[in-house]
Amino acid sequence: MNGIRRVAVYTGSAPGNDPGFAEAATDVGGRLAGAGIGLVYGGGHAGLMGVVSDAALAAGGEVFGVIPQALVDAELAHPGLTSLEVVPDMHVRKMRMAELADGFVALPGGPGTLEELFEAWTWLQLGFHRKPVALYDVDGFWMPLIAMLDGMVDAGFLAATFRDSLIVVRTPDDLLAAFDAWEPPTPKFARSR
């Protein structure tokens, strides 16, 4: 599948108010594992992070957690992962997750999920990596963000090419198909030859 062996999943450390969020996290974790794709995530057991990792493990998948020492000290680390890498801080965590993953997907979550998503997507635009970045939309959760991104295109702050590079899906099968068909955009500041 287009070189996708592991996918970094960004999602909430809270469960959210809609049971559909946990259902989606379960579906994604299980489907990735079923396709033989490892899960890379923040290493916690709380919220949707715990749900997606537990689903992948239950389906026989490999789950790689990367967690800062401070969150281990707060007893938030998942005890049953294939691999749990403890790092000094959030900056190292994000870099290590990006190194381990061949693609990225954001499920519903809060500010931390947005921050991780935007960093991975910005790195794609700058050519720091050539990996797909996706939003997994559950019941319209990401629609206000997508409208804002479209507004950035209209205002001249985001090229349509890069807006189009952000995958938006609503099912695990669509996610896998989009990753399989992935063609990266030309980086924003690429030199013409």
Q: Residue 193 pLDDT more than 60? A: no
Q: Is residue 191 part of a domain?
A: no
Q: Is residue 188 part of a domain?
A: no
Angstrom distance (rounded) from CA 115 to CA 163: 17
Q: Is residue 156 part of a domain?
A: yes
Q: Domain containing 83 — which CATH number?
A: 3.40.50.450
Q: Is residue 192 part of a domain?
A: no
Query: What tens digit of pLDDT does each residue of 29-60 get?
Result: 999 999 999 999 999 999 999 999 999 999 99
SS3 state of residue 6: strand
Q: At what angle do helices 172-180 and 19-34 cross, to 10 degrees?
A: 50
Query: What tens digit of pLDDT does each residue of 72-95 get?
Result: 999 999 999 999 999 999 999 999
Whole-model pTM? Answer: 0.95
Q: Is residue 185 part of a domain?
A: no
